[in-house]
Amino acid sequence: MTWLLPVLSLAAIALAAIKWLRVAQREHYLAGSIVFMRRVWIAGRPVNVLEEVMLAGALAGYALAPDSLWPLLGGAGMVVFPIGLGYRGRTSPLNWTARLRRTALVGVVLLCLATVLLGWMITLVLGGGWPGALSIAAVVSWYAIPDLVLWVAAPIERRLSQKFVVRASGTLDRVAPVVVGITGSYGKTSTKWYVRDLVSGTRRVVASPASFNNRLGLARAINETLTDDAEVFVAEMGAYQPGEIADTCSWIPPSIAVLTAIGPVHLQRFKSEERIIEAKSEIFGRARVAIINVDHPALAELAGRMGDRKVWRCGTSEGATSVRVRWDGDLLTILAHGQALGEPIPAGPFPANLACAVAVALELGVPPGAVSDRARRLAPADHRQATGRSEAGFEIIDDTFNSNPAGAARALDVLTRSGEPTGRRAVVTPGMVELGPRQHDANRQFAAAASEVADHLVIVGRANRRALLLGAREGPVEVVLVDNREQAVSWVREHLRPGDAVLYENDLPDHYP
């Protein structure tokens, strides 16, 4: 019977692994993401700290009675907690890709090695039999294994994926399109679509699909979508750590590089905005043309340090001397080098992103008249302040792909102009994440601003509930608490009527509380 102890402990670990493998998949297999998400779940639901209490109890109990059943307490904790993190995701179930299977295999190997080594050490120090020692060793080892697996597997995965990168690099060399690289804390995807739509019709353009903005995503985009007749390839480039964009640019060197914006997005990973700017600036390494949104003072300074490159200073401020998009009531006026580029266009495109895209189009030789005409027909980017109307007759503002304070503030402006003057307005949000030490204040400030323009604030989940509640107290808004987006949508359908408007601001993946 004693050998059931390690068997049951390993069974508990196998169940817990299903939850955390899904988290690793959603967090792009980044080492450290599991420890971070554990903290998020404890902060969102403090009861989840009981998992650590149960582990401590298992260790203490085993130290007092090595041949007891105390290790099972730790195993039970990892199966039950975090409360709320399900084994099957509501929106993204575990996808057993080849990479996930390899990650799981590496995890099994490391766990077995750690269990045997630590179990041997425990028998030397505390005595007792091998079954109990292996059981407690497995439980203790598990808490370090997930992030260790991601760290160990990273170079393995990079080596295995190199063949796709080599193939994509060869295709780029053969087709030889003008490469436009676009990065920034936010605004990358919108700017990419604007560039595609402004340039298409003058030159044959291929843009990386969806948010394929990392090494493997861009390799896949090139291998699957870059045709032999492509003249321009527009590549969205993201970064979760310094050096990532430089690595991408080593085999996708953009001749035209765009930096759309800088903000606290992913601040938890980069630790400071200065490091974010350094990481994003890697895109200019081999570029002959730099297009920069100079609305941010740090980026205006960066534009002055581009050396011999041609620089387009873009944005909405007076410092945007190359291309400026100016608000004129409900219209946008596009100014190129101080001169209006045709008649004003209807508001809709994000002004600063449009300014950067116009600069790309002009740099690629698109006639100014064509740029103005095409800008008038730009479609809103999916899930980024896209507007529509429900079957019940109320207006919907879908900003679920936005996760930064600047965009959230703009979305509130859109909400104030939506619906009938006497209609009710609602904001549905789980708040913003990955803002590091600024996350609490950013969400509090957003809720305070929302409370001034909305009648109802529907707070989804627990990740930012305390900060949002604190901000909501600064205004007369009615607060509604729901556990998930499905409940929020049900509330909206039940309470809003024709003439009302709702803003869906951000939508966290379901591995957040």
DSSP string, 442-472: HHHHHHHHHHHH-SEEEEESSTTHHHHHHHH
Final residue before a domain boundary, out of 92, 120, 155: 155
Band of residue 426 on the pLDDT scale cut at 50, 70, 90 = very high
Least confident span in 163-172, 207-216, 302-311, 357-366: 207-216
Check whether residue 368 and residue 393 sit in a common domain.
no
Residues 394 and 341 placed together within one structural domain of the fold: no
3-class state of residue 71 by DSSP: helix
| In-domain check, residue 160 | no
d(CA 329, CA 347): 9
Secondary structure (3-state) at 233: strand
**Res 3: pLDDT:** 81
Among the three residues 336, 355, 376, which one is the final residue of a domain in this structure? 376
What CA–CA distance (Å, rounded) separates 360 from 194?
Answer: 10
**Long-range contact list for 89-95, CB < 8 A, 24+ apart?**
89/22, 89/509, 89/510, 89/511, 90/484, 90/486, 90/510, 91/509, 91/510, 92/22, 92/26, 92/509, 92/510, 92/511, 93/22, 94/18, 94/21, 94/22, 94/25, 95/25
pLDDT of residue 110: 94
Mean pLDDT of 317-346: 93
Peptide bond into 421 cis (omega under 30): no
Q: Is residue 487 part of a domain?
A: yes
Alpha-helical regions (H) of 27-70 = 33-44, 50-64
253, pLDDT greater than 70:
yes
We report the CATH number of the domain holding residue 255 as 3.40.1190.10
| 334, β-bridge pairs | 325
Structure confidence at residue 427 as a pLDDT band (50, 70, 90): very high
Distance CA 369, CA 373 (A): 6
Predicted pLDDT of residue 129: 86
> Are 311 and 396 in a shared domain?
no
As a dihedral over the C-alpha atoms of residue 400, residue 403, residue 405, residue 411, rounded to 10 degrees, the angle is -10
pLDDT at 491: 97
The structure tokens listed for 86 are 């399900």
Instruction: Report pLDDT for 448.
Output: 96
In the chain, how many domains are there?
A: 3
For residue 65, what pLDDT is reported? 87
Per-residue pLDDT tens digits for 339-369? 999 899 988 889 999 999 999 999 999 999 9
The closest of 93, 209, 97, 101 to 149, measured between CA atoms, is 101
d(CA 351, CA 103): 43
Q: Regarding beta strands 339-340 and 331-336, do their DSSP bridges make them parallel or antiparallel, or are they unpaired?
A: antiparallel
**Structure token pair of residue 157:** 């995965």
Looking at per-residue pLDDT, the higher value among 290 and 94 belongs to 290
Q: How confident is the model at residue 195 (pLDDT cuts 50, 70, 90)?
A: very high
| pLDDT for res 219 | 95
Average pLDDT over residues 324-342: 92
Q: Which residue has the higher pLDDT, 228 or 385?
A: 228
Question: Which pLDDT score, from 0 to 100, does residue 70 have?
Answer: 86
**What's the farthest any 2 CA atoms get from each other in the chain?**
85
The alpha carbon torsion through 349, 423, 505, 86 (nearest 10 deg) reads -150
Q: Do both 409 and 348 map to the same domain?
A: no
Range of the domain at 255: 177-376
Mean of per-residue pLDDT scores for the chain: 91
Domain end, chosen from 376, 397, 418, is at: 376
Backbone angles phi, psi at 106, to 5 degrees: -60, -40
In a domain, 381, yes or no: no
Domain assignment of residue 512, yes or no: no
Q: Give the three-class secondary structure for 293.
A: strand
- Name which of 184, 201, 294 is nearest 238 in CA terms: 184
Query: pLDDT-based confidence at 14, cuts 50/70/90?
Result: very high
Q: Choose among 324, 270, 314, 273: nearest CA to 290.
A: 314
Q: Is 163 left (phi over 0), alpha (psi -120 to 50) or beta?
A: alpha
Residue 281 is assigned to a structural domain of this protein? yes
Are residues 200 and 60 part of one domain? Answer: no
Query: In this structure, are residues 102 and 33 in contact, taking their beta carbons and an 8 Å threshold?
Result: no
Are 146 and 281 in a shared domain? no
Range of lowest pLDDT (88-92, 109-113, 319-323): 88-92
Residues 8 and 131 in one domain: yes
Residue 194: inside a domain = yes
Decide if pLDDT at 122 tops 60.
yes
Same domain, 227 and 325: yes
Let me know whether 206 and 235 are in one domain.
Answer: yes
Per-residue b or e along 338-363, where b marks 16 or more CB atoms closer than 10 Å to that residue's CB: eeebbebbeebbbbbbbbbbbbbbbb
Rounded Cα distance between 92 and 94, Å, is: 7
pLDDT at 436: 83
Q: Do 341 and 391 sit in the same domain of this protein?
A: no
**pLDDT classification of 53: cutoffs 50, 70, 90:** very high
Mean pLDDT along residues 168-196: 95
pLDDT above 90 covers what percent of the chain? 71
* pLDDT score of 267: 67
pLDDT at position 179 is 98
Q: Is the pLDDT of residue 371 over 60?
A: yes
Confirm whether 92 is domain-assigned.
Answer: yes
* Residues 251, 138 share a domain: no
For the stretch 487-513, pLDDT in tens is 999 999 999 999 999 999 998 888 888
Residue 96 has pLDDT above 60, yes or no: yes
Q: For residue range 461-470, list pLDDT tens digits in order.
A: 999 999 999 9
Residue 162 lies in a domain: no
Q: Residue 182: what pLDDT? A: 97
List the CATH number of the domain containing 432. 3.90.190.20
CA–CA dist 35, 161 (Å, integer): 26
% of the chain surpassing 70 pLDDT = 99
416 lies in the same domain as 443 = yes
The more confidently predicted of residues 239 and 170 is: 170
pLDDT at residue 1, as a whole number: 53
Buried-state track 458-487, b at ≥16 Cβ within 10 A, e below 16: bbbbbbbbbbbbebbeeeebeebebeebee
